[in-house]
Amino acid sequence: MKCRQGGFWLSLIVSASIVCLAPGTAGAQEETTLKFWTFLDPNKNGPRESAWAQIIKTFEDEHPGIKIQPEIFPWNEISSKLIVSVSAGRGPDVTLVETNLRQTLARGNILAPLDEYIETWDAGALDDFYHPQERVYDGKTYALNMWSNGSALFYRKDLFDEAGLEPPRSMDEFTTAAKALTVDTDGDGKIDQWGFAEGIARSQPFAHRFLFPLIWASGETIIGPDGKATFNSPAGVKAVQSFVDLVKVHEAMPPDVVNLTYDERLQGFMAGKYAMAIEGMHRYERTQTSPVIEGKVGLVPIPGWSVDKPAPTPVTGWDIGIGATSENKEAAWEFLSHALSYESQLLNAEVAGQVPARKSVAEDAFFESEEGENLKFILDYIATASSEFPQATNLDLLIELFNLAIQEAILRDVSVQQALDNAASKYNRSL
């Protein structure tokens, strides 16, 4: 027996009986609890957390027979815990999925295919999402984009004004600004404010988010059609050398970036320690919670090699999917569909500053308002110059080896070419 609900068929088998649940049905019983894995705690007061709290509440109000049980994990642990848990026959009903790792999870049968549910949507609905073809692995769709995300150069408008600098459009201008904004502010002989920083600590390495776009800006790739690493090309060497030189030649980035994590780098930017940072738009609202830099953060595209051609923004973000071991897949699809609805996507943009995954939402008048102008900036950037990270066989390993090569060049004085050659060779041997 199936029950029509919210445009989809929902069957819930409880205690050997079938219960039909309709939104707003009086006396409906709480028969199903969905485990939802997320790194955003709806009980906290952050903008992204508040948005999820509202999305969940609206869903539960409309589906009185289904309750959402969020289970919170650090964002960088969800994928590894998913693999272990689902492989052991456990795991969530619904989970956030790292966009960069969706193929890895699909390949390992960690996520359930969504195709039979997507077929219940109106014709063409899938085309409302950005890059839906990138969610297909071996002919099946295992996740859908919950929110997109592009990165940009976050810079301190006040510091640039004081130094008489314009926001950088090219790497030459970027290096000049980074050097000028590296200063000893209190005269004690120690640098208090660095022009730029990006963390490459092994636990959270993120230099690739800056350097992959520079490789793309040269017209080169990170991996080739055969799946082998190509980041050791002349374009890769040029990009990585520019990063290493910020530390060793220009002294505009602190040497301790080798131990700096992604999160620590953002904290340093919010504390005024770094004048520039490459950051995802999903964290712009968080920067505005800092009294040190509130109202002082400007946004420009990631500088490329020439002033008239910015580096493509890496489109990342988070997807959402159904755990392969879920026993409540149809109810899970109801929640997934609600989270992806126009209303939820717009709420996520308005409350949390998240970049919507649906093209139709981007047409809303909100993005022409003062509150939505930053999202409009990144939506336009994505439309004109963007690329997704490669769907590598093992993207985690690719990123780890790439960042370790940078550490090797900084700490051991290994040439950038040799360090990248070593990293590419190790990756290719793993295939």
Asked whether residue 367 carries a pLDDT value surpassing 50, the answer given is yes
Instruction: Clarify whether residues 155 and 171 are in a common domain.
Output: yes
| 110 CB-side CA count, 13 A | 26
Rounded distance between C-alpha atoms, residue 35 and residue 95, angstroms? 8
Mean pLDDT computed over 94-107 = 86
**Nearest one of 107, 170, 173 to 140, comparing CA atoms:** 107
Q: CATH code at 35?
A: 3.40.190.10
Mean pLDDT computed over 224-241 = 97
Rounded distance between C-alpha atoms, residue 330 and residue 12, angstroms? 8
Give the helix ranges, DSSP H, for 108-182.
115-118, 157-163, 171-180
Report the sign of the C-alpha dihedral through residues 62, 51, 96, 355, in that order.
Answer: positive
- pTM: predicted TM-score of the whole model, two decimal places: 0.77
Instruction: Clarify whether residues 334 and 374 are in a common domain.
Output: yes
Instruction: Clarify whether residues 128 and 244 are in a common domain.
Output: no
Instruction: Clarify whether residues 323 and 288 are in a common domain.
Output: no
Instruction: Clarify whether residues 305 and 328 are in a common domain.
Output: no
From the CB of residue 98, how many other CB atoms can be counted at a distance below 10 Å?
21
What pLDDT score does 388 carry?
81
Q: Which of 234-238, 263-267, 327-331, 376-380 has the lowest mean pLDDT?
A: 376-380
**Nearest one of 317, 312, 319, 318 to 387, comparing CA atoms:** 312
Instruction: Clarify whether residues 231 and 129 are in a common domain.
Output: no
Instruction: Clarify whether residues 138 and 221 are in a common domain.
Output: no
Domain count, the chain: 2
Residue 22: pLDDT band (50, 70, 90) is very low
**Partners of 387 in the β-ladder:** 314
Mean pLDDT score of the chain, rounded to an integer? 90
**Nearest one of 420, 391, 428 to 403, comparing CA atoms:** 420
What pLDDT score does 29 carry?
55
Asked whether residue 4 carries a pLDDT value surpassing 50, the answer given is no
Measure Cα distances from 42 to 45, 61, 402 in Å.
8, 16, 35
Instruction: Clarify whether residues 426 and 368 are in a common domain.
Output: no
Instruction: Clarify whether residues 228 and 259 are in a common domain.
Output: yes
What pLDDT score does 31 carry?
82
Mean pLDDT computed over 299-322 = 95
Asked whether residue 8 carries a pLDDT value surpassing 60, the answer given is no
Mean pLDDT computed over 335-354 = 95
Q: Residue 56 corresponds to which amino acid?
A: I
Domain ranges, residue 45? 3-142+316-383
Rounded distance between C-alpha atoms, residue 320 and residue 149, angstroms? 14
Give the helix ranges, DSSP H, for 137-282.
157-163, 171-180, 208-217, 234-248, 262-270
Rounded distance between C-alpha atoms, residue 319 and residue 100, angstroms? 9
Tokens 């969940």, located at residue: 56
- Comparison of pLDDT for 204 and 51, the residue scoring more: 51
Contact partners, residue 418, CB within 8 Å, separation at least 6: none
What pLDDT score does 35 carry?
98
**Residue 279 carries which DSSP code?**
E
Q: Which of 132-146, 283-297, 341-355 has the lowest mean pLDDT?
A: 132-146
Asked whether residue 64 carries a pLDDT value surpassing 90, the answer given is yes
Longest dimension (CA), the chain: 77
Mean pLDDT computed over 34-42 = 97
Rounded distance between C-alpha atoms, residue 52 and residue 56, angstroms? 6
Q: What is the pLDDT of residues 262-305, one digit of tens each?
A: 899 999 999 999 999 999 887 888 899 999 999 999 999 999 99
What pLDDT score does 3 carry?
44
Do 216 and 283 touch, CB atoms closer than 8 A? no
Instruction: Clarify whether residues 170 and 245 are in a common domain.
Output: yes
Instruction: Please identify, among 351, 367, 383, the residue that sits at the C-terminal boundary of a domain.
Output: 383
Q: Please give the backbone phi and psi of residue 277, each rounded to the nearest 5 degrees, phi first.
A: -155, 145
Contact partners, residue 135, CB within 8 Å, separation at least 6: 102, 141, 142, 143, 144, 145, 319
Q: What is the pLDDT of residues 374-421, one digit of tens each?
A: 888 998 898 789 888 877 888 889 999 999 999 999 999 999 999 999
Rounded distance between C-alpha atoms, residue 299 and residue 276, angstroms? 10
| 175 CB-side CA count, 13 A | 18
Report the sign of the C-alpha dihedral through residues 308, 310, 311, 312, in that order.
Answer: negative
What pLDDT score does 13 carry?
32
Instruction: Clarify whether residues 303 and 323 are in a common domain.
Output: no
Rounded distance between C-alpha atoms, residue 123 and residue 144, angstroms? 16
Instruction: Clarify whether residues 184 and 74 are in a common domain.
Output: no
Q: Is 385 helix (H, G, I), strand (E, B) or coil?
A: coil
Asked whether residue 63 carries a pLDDT value surpassing 70, the answer given is yes
What pLDDT score does 226 carry?
93
Rounded distance between C-alpha atoms, residue 161 and residue 406, angstroms? 32
First to last CA, the chain: 47
What pLDDT score does 30 carry?
55
Q: Express as a percent the part of the chain with pLDDT over 70.
A: 93
Q: What are the DSSP calls for 17-81, one per residue?
A: EEE---TT-TT----EEEEEEESS-TTS-SHHHHHHHHHHHHHHHH-TTEEEEEEE--TTTHHHH
